[in-house]
Amino acid sequence: MQQMATTVTLLGAASSPGDAAVAVVSSEQKVYDVVVKQAALLKRQLRPQQQQQAPPAVARELDAPRGGLGEAYARCGEICEEYAKTFYLGTLLMTEERRRAIWAIYVWCRRTDELVDGPNASHITPQALDRWERRLEDLFAGRPYDMLDAALSDTITKFPIDIQPFKDMIDGMRTDLKKARYKNFDELYMYCYYVAGTVGLMSVPVMGIAPESKATAESVYGAALALGLANQLTNILRDVGEDARRGRIYLPQDELAEAGLSDEDIFKGVVTEKWRKFMKRQIKRARMFFEEAEQGVTELRKESRWPVWASMLLYRQILDEIEANDYNNFTKRAYVGKAKKVLALPVAYGKSLLLPYSLRNNQT
C-alpha cells in the first residue's frame, strides 16, 4: 500500500484540486489493481509446492517455427541488440533462460509500438489492432503466428506472465489512434501505464525477485510500474517538437494553461521563460518516478539488475540533456552520446551489486 500512497502523492502534487483529485485516485486504483494481480501470480509461483510442478501442457503443444525455438530466440536477441544495444549488453549477465525471455518480451513490445509509430502507422486501423490482439490471444494459447511470436509463446510457459499487461499495451496503441490531447495528468498517467508501465509488469516475472529480498512482490511491481512511467514521461519531454509536428501534444492541458501556455505555443516552438518554468516542473515529476523506481531495482535478482540500471541511468541522462539544451525540445532532440552510454555500463554494474534496499533498511 505504500507504493499506492506514494503514487497518489506524486499525482496529487501535479494535479489541480477538486474533482481532478478524485479522478486521480480512480485512475491510479485501476492500475494498482493490475499490479496486485501480477504480484499474486508471482507469489503463487514462488511457493515451494508450486515450484516443482510441470509447466502447462501448452508448452509441449507449442507450434514451433521451422528452425526451432533456438533460432526464434536468437532472432529476438538480434533485434534487441540492434535497437537497444545498451540494454542488450546488460542482459548478457542474465541466465540464458531469463535473457532469452526478456528479448522475446522486448520484441513483442517493439512490434506493437511500431504499429502506430512505425513506417506503416498511417495505414493502421482499429480493426488492425483488434487482429493483433486476437493474435496475442492465440500466442498465449500456444498457437504462435510466426517465429517471433513463438519465442514469446514459449516464454509464457516458463514464467508466470499474465496476458493483461499485453492487452493493456494494445489499448495504449488504440488511444494513439483516437486521442491527441490529454486533459490532465490523470489521463496522461493512464496513457503512460498503457504504453510503458505495462513493460515493467511483463518483465518482473522474468527478471525475478532476489531470494534474499525482504520486499513484497507488490512493492517490486510498483517500482517496475514507476520506472515505466518515468521512461515514458521522459520520452514525451524529449519528443515535444517531433510530436507537435504530427499534431500530438502529450502534455497535461490544465498544467499548460496554469503556466500561461497553449497548444499554439507548442506549435510555434519558441523557448520562453514560461516554457522553461513549465518544463522544470515536468522534469521534476519524471525524476520523482525514477527515484521511486530505484529501490525496486535493487530487489531484483542480482544478475537481472544490470540491464535495468543501465537503461534507467541513460534515460535519466536524457532529462539532463533537455536541461543542457536550455529546455529547447522543440528543435533539439536530447540524446545521450556514445561515450556517456559506455561510461554508464560500469556504473550500472556497480549499482547492480548493491544489497537489496529492503535488507539495507533492516540493518539500520
Is residue 59 assigned to a domain?
no
Is residue 129 assigned to a domain?
yes
Enclosing H/E stretch for 215: none
Question: Does 225 have pLDDT greater than 80?
Answer: yes
Give the pLDDT confidence score for residue 58 in this predicted structure.
Answer: 39
pLDDT one-digit tens code per residue, 280-312: 999 999 999 999 999 999 999 999 999 999 999
* Same-domain status, 157 and 184: no
Give the pLDDT confidence score for residue 24 in this predicted structure.
Answer: 43
* Same-domain status, 126 and 237: no
Helices (H) and strands (E) in the chain, counts: 20, 0
Is residue 329 assigned to a domain?
yes
- What does the alpha-carbon distance between residue 132 and residue 126 come to, in Å, rounded to a whole number? 10
* Same-domain status, 154 and 249: no
- What does the alpha-carbon distance between residue 90 and residue 306 come to, in Å, rounded to a whole number? 5
Is residue 259 assigned to a domain?
yes
Give the pLDDT confidence score for residue 20 in this predicted structure.
Answer: 45
- What does the alpha-carbon distance between residue 357 and residue 360 come to, in Å, rounded to a whole number? 5
| End-of-domain residue from the set 129, 161, 193 | 161
Separation in Å, CA 326 to CA 252, 271, 320: 21, 8, 10
Is residue 16 assigned to a domain?
no
- What does the alpha-carbon distance between residue 340 and residue 60 come to, in Å, rounded to a whole number? 45
pLDDT one-digit tens code per residue, 86-137: 899 999 999 999 999 999 999 999 999 999 988 888 889 999 999 999 999 9
Separation in Å, CA 138 to CA 105, 169, 203: 16, 16, 20
* Same-domain status, 74 and 199: no
Total structural domains in the chain?
2
- Supply the mean pLDDT for the chain: 88
Is residue 192 assigned to a domain?
yes
Query: Any idea which of 52-61, 130-139, 225-234, 252-261 has the lowest mean pLDDT?
Result: 52-61
Domain containing 192: what range?
179-363
* Same-domain status, 104 and 241: no
pLDDT one-digit tens code per residue, 34-87: 898 889 888 877 654 334 343 443 344 555 555 589 999 999 999 999 999 989
Query: Any idea which of 22-36, 85-99, 154-168, 196-210 has the lowest mean pLDDT?
Result: 22-36
* Same-domain status, 232 and 343: yes
User: Residues for the chain: how many in total?
Assistant: 364
Is residue 36 assigned to a domain?
no
Is residue 49 assigned to a domain?
no
- What does the alpha-carbon distance between residue 225 and residue 190 come to, in Å, rounded to a whole number? 11
**247 contact partners, CB below 8 Å, separation of at least 6:** 180
The three three-digit cell numbers of residue 155, written as one number: 516464454
Whole-prediction pTM value? 0.87
Residue 14: band (very low, low, confident or very high) from pLDDT cuts 50, 70, 90: very low
- What does the alpha-carbon distance between residue 215 and residue 212 come to, in Å, rounded to a whole number? 9
- What does the alpha-carbon distance between residue 96 and residue 102 come to, in Å, rounded to a whole number? 10
CATH number at residue 210: 1.10.600.10
